[in-house]
Structure 1
Amino acid sequence: MHPLLNFKSRKAEQAKEIARLSVEADTARDRRDWATAAEAYRKVLKAKPERADLWVQLGHAEKERGNHGGAGEAYNQSLRLDPTNADTLLQIGHLRKLQGAIDEAGAYYLQAAELDPSLRYALDELRSLSLRGVEIDQNRLGEVVQAASKARRRPVSRRKKEADAPVDVTNLLSTIAQIDGDQERLAQLENAIRAGAEAQDELRAMIESQKAEVHLVFDISDLVGYFKNARLPTGIQRVQIEVVSGLLREPDLRFDVSVCSFSSARDHWVEVPTDLFLRLSDLARSNGDMAEPEWLDALEELTVEIDLGEAFDFARGAYLINLGTSWWLQNYFLHVREAKERFGIHYIPFVHDMIPIMTPEHCTRPLTQDFISWAMGVFSHADYFFTNSEASKRDLISVAQTLGYTLDTDQVHVVRLDADFRKATIATPIPSTLKRYGLTEGGYVLFVSTIESRKNHLNAFKAWLQLLKDHPAKDVLPLVCVGNRGWLNDTVFAQLDGNPELRSKVKMVSKVADEDLANLYRACAFTIYPSSYEGWGLPVTESLSYGKAALLSDASSLPEAGGDFADFFPLGDQGAFMFSLERLMFDREYRRSREVRIETGFQPRPWADLGREISDQIGEWFGQHADRPMVHPRPDLGHYHWMRRNEATSIAPGMVSPEVFRTGTGWSQPDAWGTWTKPGGGTLTFNLDQVEGPLRLYVGLLGLGTEDTDYIVSFNGVPARTGALGRGTTQWIPMTVPPQDYASGSLHVGIWGSAKEDFSVTTGGVDTRVVSVGLIGFMICREDDYASRVAFTEALTFEDLPNLAEARRLNL
């Protein structure tokens, strides 16, 4: 055979053999036969050592069969051949994490994300490590987050383009009068602004430069939590979206406005880009499709921002405004205290209601417990309060008084939620909505509300059953209940499921888009709202905005929401409810008279007015009231303070949450037994400014679950006691506190442990906390208070500390 032909033949055979080995390697890999796969990949690489992708596959096989050294060599060889391959860096990161080199793993993940910001797995790993407290270069990480956000953006939708369109010229020109600037230049801009976006941009820049140094920071933490499980906003979520969106799109020149969210996993606030907030808000109102790609992309971008963003640095003296709720965030007030200490912020919660305290029978036990924990802390942290009705204001003041606080009337401002819910334009025709839900125009009664016990769906069902007994079924209008499931609703659905007659006249609807909901209001006969307790009652205002008669109970704030335009019945009076219901359903002339009354007299406010009222009130508070310093609390001498999460389901005079003694950022959130410190230690601060003489302090420590640890308890930074804790063991440490240690009026007790535990390892990532020594509780008393010391040591001996803590709570 000719030598050339012989060479080609050998080459062909080699190619066939390499192809066979490649198939063998891939097949073994797919059936997870890692040893066979590794051997086959090595044979292929002997002939094709330049194949970076095959070196990665060899690395996988070696890693999976436990040969971490071989895996590292293979990955590194791939990286030498192709230094810019993000996937190879990702795989090395996985290997280093598996080997326990978490910091190195983070560095490789960061490099991978820098090379390819769209590499989702690298971002997920960075988020996971960040939540576990691994230090990652924040500057580089911030650039990665921005690049990932850009890479994730889909083609701009029509709705997005409309939201981002240039600000209306009239609105821009109206700001000129508010700017104290060069009038001649402003006149030039007035003429030039109509010529193009460049002049608009210049005017915007001038507006920014003229803003007062007053910073409003809106905390949307609960809105972020809501978006993880739902999309269409209801109640409190709608208030936040509308008010904050309005202030961002029509800025008040006196204020700089930011949006932030508290990360419970990372224990700090993170800024949310305003354009992202506006995009999410627009998407949330458009429909309820949780799987829509555009929605998922925006939600993922938000999650990345919160999990990887830098801790938010408040401007000095900023106003932190929470239009939603924070009672479910166990470490929230700890960080409010820290922000007050570091930045001098003012904290202003918007109290929508006091339902879990005023009507706990309509709430789940955990919800009531968390809300009471919030109530025990809010009055010592809030500088001012917003609330939505005079009824809510009365309840807020009543709860404060029960807990031993006095609120000045000028500390609480009522922002009525009488906003205009009507859409300027509705693209969806009414017939399309009615066809979708099987309804006819004017042929149904509407009940918009979350499905939960306090909304009184059961009374509404009872009324409809009575209507069916007293009138021909064809004359009874169907009841359409629009709302998602809330708390304690099993009996509602059980009654509906068990009664075919009721089901024939009641339709339950959820996840209704804004446009469909607007059409359901426009086409209904009238609305009902028989709730037993409300903070305001947004569906009432919504009904009146669309000119529809509304039948309400007279409970709590509903007379304020309905005013002279709604019909009312006494709560619990089923006969009065039936009378008013039949009149609205069957007396069309009366119903029309109520509609005319609404059309001619009801004047809802634009949502932007609510935002302006909030900013105006802050402007009034600004500079007119002395800042309220954060005063460290005074412990009850002689009483046991259990550092656990609150379990009380009712309030009592003098109740204080023990968590208020924690200072700094070295604490994990309270658990059912007590609270863990973070690596680096935690500090308790006691106000002892009117105490004299030596004190006796007992501190209860809990060891880690995975390893032994040393501990140090210090007074004002000076070690007072040291020792060791075995795994899972408890140790109570008695110490004498000499008067000189609290001569300044305060005592700072530090608790530090030498070891740490990563809960993500033992919980499979469910709990991402990294913790050190735990604090069960403490008791401090005068050294000569032998009665308290004996009572406490007896409780320790007989394991009766829970009863001792309960006695303190009840002031026994």
Structure 2
Amino acid sequence: MQDEPAPEPPTPEDIRARADALRDQKRWAEAEAAYREYLAERPRHWQIHVQLGHTRKEQGDPEGALPHYRRAALLAPDDPDPMLQAGHVLRHLGRGGEAAEALGRALALAPESPDLRHVVALLRHRTLPPPEGPALPPPPRPAGKPTQIAFDVTDLLDYLRAARTPTGIQRVQMGILGALLAAPGRPANLLLVGFEGATWRWWHVDEAAFRHVLALARIGGREDDPAWRSAVAALVAPDARPDAPFLAGGTLCSLGNAWGVQEYFRGLRRLRATTPLRYVAFVHDCVPLAMPEHCLDLTVRLYARWFAALSLHADGILANSRATIADFARFAAPLAKPAPAGLVRLAAEAGASPVAASAAADALPAPRPGEEFVLFVATLESRKNHLMVFQAWLSLIRKLGPERVPRLVCVGRPGWRADAALALLAGSPALRRKVTVQSGVSDLALAGLYDRCLFTVYNSYHEGWGLPVSESLAAGKLAVVPAHSGLLEAGAPGAVFFTPQDEPDLVAKLEALLTEPGHRIALEARIDRAAARRDWPDAAREVLEALANPAEATAPPQPLPLGRHLAMGWRGEGRPSPDMAWAERVRDGLAWWWQEEWGVWTRDGIATLTLPASLPAGTLLRVVLELRGPPRPLALRLRARGARAEAWRGLTLQAGETLRCVLQAEAGPGGLAVDLDSGDGVPLGDRFKRVVGVGLLGVMLCREDDLAARLGALERAEG
């Protein structure tokens, strides 16, 4: 009987295929053994050294993965992947300095990689050189005309990521910026920028992509439309775009809601440290301060912090009405001398083709073609008080009969605290037959609705301006509005005013317009359509005029109040305060996390506090720090920098320990700075996977000879 031939030994390719199959099945230990068997035959195959590192990492041994990634890097010095993998593992291990070095080497090999640029930016706080030398004052604000005008569109891009149909402030931004970018004589130095709070990076927004998205938003459509999603994806991609090319002496202007942007003012301070520029913010209203009960609690708190910080950061303010300017001055008065304010009235553009607008309106579910209706354009939220309008409509139905009451078409997204209004609508069959609520209506279709409606109604507890009122009057249609705030200015060209929150007066005004056509026609004839209709180019010119001719700053930058304890926590105050502004202002550089109720964590590496003081150089100062230990013991180094950098001091904080530390130094040209070096920090164990250093609960700066302040700090320390 003939012996069967012995089976051929597996080739290296067979072994690798088996290892890859085991890896795909997540049988990590077996895959590791197979990869090692392969490398015994092909020891210079660097990609398999990377795979071997992955098997160790997936088995819970990230430290054991590092030698394999480093071996792969030696074998493939021109490929970024081994250093990228090593950097990820080092970040996981909390070795931020080594991670930053590894990822920096990877980026040097692939400088165009958006993913690598992003991850390296996240670790910039470990690659920057430590601060040295005396505490310096911030660079002076520029004088004269701006060398460049940059518009920050961060919040608008955030909105467009999630929605297609603009509302309120987004419509204002898109109208002004669209007009500026399309103007034949536009300034040559105009720039669009965005801010990414996670990496503290200002990036250059592509103008062509921005204009394309604005055009698509104007015509409306589905938010899941592939063309729309593709256009937005091409626009909102900061990692794929270069840094914003700011020029010294320029002006940065935010036309939108910067109060919701993470770490915004710290990003602005960081930008100003290298590029002196002015900052101007558009204040659309002060509703979260004037009417906090009609806003989300988070909105009130964010807005209050932003508003407080304006007192230390803004060189100028733009506002849409005299009422808003008065509100701004009233709420800013306790903070500091208000920044100069310029008036930019909002536009009510009437440039849509009547035929196209009518066709777009006819395509809506309601009203039916030829049906009479009254229009109410506003987000469904408690501040717009749809409930009162619905109750008024129900009163009209009962008084006049349903056949004499037209349909009420409400255009707007459901928003905050609209439950009562929607519950009334849902519970009343008579109301449901006469009221329609719809969102996602394009500007084109909205123009058609204005043209066809009998008149409009706009109810609100408080407004900065009231764009739907201007749009209604510009279309020649009466607007029924309460007589208060910015609505008095928006409605000045011919609105019908009723007593605010007076339902009987509203019903009476509505009944007269519905039952007396001659009365309505006579009032329509008195509308000053020219005054109401202001194209967006008009508003855009006013914006440019205000930015190109700034009021010169007369007061020096404010110093930190001496001798007063400054709590670093975000304690949920709904009113802006100087302490709130300074808690934001004193955090410098990149090595800080966001503020929390109790205080703020530093990151790994060196975090810096800047404490500006207007004192003669050499004045002896004392700073008292209230510190909190992270979840594990931490070795901390601290030093003060005033007239010079003092020697580092060391202390160890136990897990969760709170203590007070006193540092002394002579005042420098900019007051005092404090550096806190937490080394590689410790994992916090939260859902954000943060690595933290020391926590800061509070700080107090005083003259060394201020015995009252020192006694106050001692009493605070004793409870």
TM range (shorter): 0.7 to 0.9
How do 1:151-166 and structure 2 match up within 5 A? none
Q: Is the 8 A contact 1:667 1:677 kept in 2?
A: yes
Task: Say which of 358, 370, 382 aligns to 1:453.
Answer: 382
Q: Does residue 290 of the first structure (1) align with residue 196 of the second (2)?
A: no
SS of corresponding position for 2:597: coil
Confirm whether residue 647 of structure 1 aligns to residue 647 of structure 2.
no
Q: Is the 8 A contact 1:213 1:256 kept in 2?
A: no
Per-residue Cα deviation, 1:446-505 (whole angstroms, up to 9, x for no partner): 111112111111111111111221122233222221112333333333333333433332
State the partner residue of 2:630.
Answer: 704
Residue in structure 1 matched with residue 412 of structure 2 by the alignment: 483
Q: Which residue of 2 aligns with 1:388?
A: 320
The equivalent residue for 1:683 is 609
Show the counterpart of 1:520: 449
| CA distance, structure 2, for counterparts of residue 449 and residue 584 of structure 1 | 21
* TM-score, length basis structure 2: 0.83
Which position in structure 1 is the counterpart of 2:332?
A: 400
Total equivalences in the alignment: 694
Residue matched to 1:714? 640
- What's the CA shift for 1:32? 3.2
Q: 1:24 to 1:507 in 2, by over 3 A?
A: farther
Whether the aligned pair in 2 keeps the contact of 1:389 and 1:415 (CA below 8 Å) is yes
8 Å contact from structure 1 (residues 634, 687) kept in 2 = yes
Unaligned runs of 5+ in 1: 1-8, 138-211, 799-812
| 2:537 aligned residue | 608
Matched AA of 1:238: R
Q: 1:314 aligned to 2:257?
A: no
Closer, same or farther: CA 17–656 of 1 in aligned 2, 3 Å: closer
Question: What one-letter code is carried by the residue in structure 2 that aligns with 1:518?
Answer: A
Structure 2 letter corresponding to 1:513: S
Cα RMSD (Å): 4.3
Specify the alignment match of 1:269 in structure 2.
202
Checking the alignment, whether the CA contact within 8 Å between 2:367 and 2:407 is kept in structure 1 is: no
Query: What is the correspondence of 1:56-205 to structure 2 with a 5 Å cutoff?
Result: 64-65=58-59, 102-103=99-100, 106=103, 110=107, 123-124=114-115, 126-133=117-124
Partner of 1:486, secondary structure, is coil
> Could you tell me how far apart the structure 2 residues matched to 1:795 and 1:229 are?
47
Give the equivalent residue in structure 2 for 1:229: 162
- Residue 548 of structure 1 corresponds to 477
Helix, strand or coil: the match of 2:612?
strand
Q: Is the CA contact 2:308–2:578 (under 8 Å) kept in the aligned structure 1?
A: no
| Separation in 2, partners of 1:793, 1:54 | 62
Report what 1:497 is aligned to.
426
For residue 50 of structure 1, report the CA deviation from its aligned partner.
Answer: 13
How far apart are the structure 2 equivalents of 1:481 and 1:294? 28
Contact 2:358 2:449 in 1 (8 A): no
CA distance in 1, matches of 2:52, 2:680: 35
The structure with the greater share of residues assigned to helix is 1
Aligned partners of 1:329, 1:298: CA distance in 2, in Å?
Answer: 23
Q: Tell me the equivalent position of 1:774.
A: 695
CA distance, structure 1, for counterparts of residue 44 and residue 715 of structure 2? 75
Moved more, 561-570 or 640-649: 640-649
2:650 pairs with 1:733 = no
Q: Structure 1 residues 548, 281: closer, same or farther in 2, change over 3 A?
A: same
Number of the residue aligned with 1:631: 557
| In 1, Cα distance between equivalents of 2:500 and 2:629 | 54
CA contact (8 A) 2:631 2:656 kept: yes
Kindly state the Cα deviation for residue 426 of structure 1 after the two structures are TM-superposed.
Answer: 6.4
The one-letter amino acid of 1:131's match is L
1:349 aligned onto 2:346: no
Q: Is the 8 A contact 1:280 1:295 kept in 2?
A: yes
Deviations 1:38-58 (A, max 9, x none): 667889999999999999888
- Residue 367 of structure 1 aligns with an amino acid whose one-letter code is T
Deviation at 1:60, TM superposition (A): 6.0
| Deviation at residue 35 of structure 1 after TM alignment | 4.5
User: Partner amino acid for 2:653?
Assistant: L
* Cα separation, partners in 2 of 1:84 and 1:314, compared to 1, 3 Å: closer
Per-residue CA shift, 1:580-604, capped at 9, x if unaligned?
A: 1122233333334444444865551
Q: Render the CA deviation track for 1:695-754: whole Å, top value 9, x for unaligned.
A: 5432212233345122213132213754232333222013455xxx12x66521312214
**Structure 1 residue 793: Cα displacement:** 2.5
**Structure 1 contact 217–318 (Cα < 8 Å) conserved:** yes
Amino acid of the residue matched to residue 102 of structure 1?
A
CA distance in 2, matches of 1:20, 1:340: 59
TM-score (norm 1): 0.74
Q: CA deviation at 1:388?
A: 0.4
Question: For the Cα contact (< 8 Å) 1:109–1:123, is it kept in 2?
Answer: no
Partner residue of 1:207?
none
Contact persistence 1:93–1:108 (CA under 8 A)? no
Residue 672 of structure 2 corresponds to residue 748 of structure 1: yes
Secondary structure, counterpart of 1:225 in structure 2: helix
Cα distance in 1 for residues equivalent to 2:292 and 2:595 = 23
Q: Which has the higher contact order (CA 8 A, sep 6+)?
A: 2
CA distance in 2, matches of 1:598, 1:283: 32
- Structure 2 residue runs without a partner (length 5+): 129-144
Q: In the alignment, is the contact (CA less than 8 A) between 2:83 and 2:102 conserved in 1?
A: no
Letter in 2 for 1:343: T
Counterparts in 2 of 1:219 and 1:352: CA distance versus 1, 3 Å: same
CA shift, 1:537, in A, is: 0.5
Deviation at 1:235? 1.3
Cα distance change of structure 1 residues 243 and 695 upon mapping to structure 2, 3 Å threshold: same
Structure 1 residue 392: Cα displacement: 0.8
Letter matched to residue 103 of structure 2: G
Query: 3-state DSSP class of the match of 1:106?
Result: helix
Equivalent residues of 2:29, 2:55 under 8 A apart: yes
Cα 1:85–1:333 shift into 2, 3 Å: closer
How far did residue 258 of structure 1 move?
0.7
After superposition, give the CA deviation of every residue in 1:102-137 in whole Å (9 maximum; x if it has no partner): 3476368658977xx8xxxx7446534533437899
What's the CA shift for 1:353?
0.8
In the alignment, is the contact (CA less than 8 A) between 1:565 and 1:602 conserved in 2? Answer: no
CA–CA distance in structure 2, aligned partners of residues 554 and 267 of structure 1: 43
**Partners of 1:373 and 1:646 within 8 A in 2:** no
1:794 paired residue number: 715
Q: CA deviation at 1:777?
A: 1.2
Q: What amino acid is aligned across from residue 520 of structure 1 in structure 2?
A: L
Distance 1:756 1:228, change over 3 A: farther
SS of the equivalent of 2:661 reads strand
Q: Identity percentage over the alignment? A: 31
**What SS does structure 2 have at the residue aligned with 1:217?**
strand
Q: Structure 1 640/702 Cα, relative in aligned 2: closer, same or farther at 3 Å?
A: same
Shift of 1:532: 1.6
**One-letter code of the match for 2:175?**
E
Amino acid at match of 1:526: F
Are the counterparts in 2 of residues 75 and 91 from structure 1 also a CA contact under 8 Å?
no
Distance 2:107 2:209 in 1: 23
CA pair 322-32 structure 1, distance change in 2 beyond 3 A: same
Equivalent AA in structure 1 for residue 99 of structure 2: I
Q: Is the 8 A contact 2:570 2:597 kept in 1?
A: yes
Q: Judge conservation of contact 2:107–2:116 (CA < 8 Å) in 1.
A: no
State how far apart, in whole Å, the 2-side matches of 1:546 and 1:516 are: 14
Aligned partner of 2:133 in structure 1 is none
Distance 2:273 2:20 in 1: 60
Structure 1 residue 635 displacement after superposition: 1.3
Structure 2 CA distance for partners of 1:755 and 1:745, relative to 1, 3 Å: closer
CA contact (8 A) 2:634 2:681 kept: no
| 3-state SS, counterpart of residue 320 of structure 1 | strand
How far off its partner does 1:579 sit?
A: 1.2
Question: Contact conserved, 1:418 with 1:561, CA < 8 A, in 2?
Answer: no
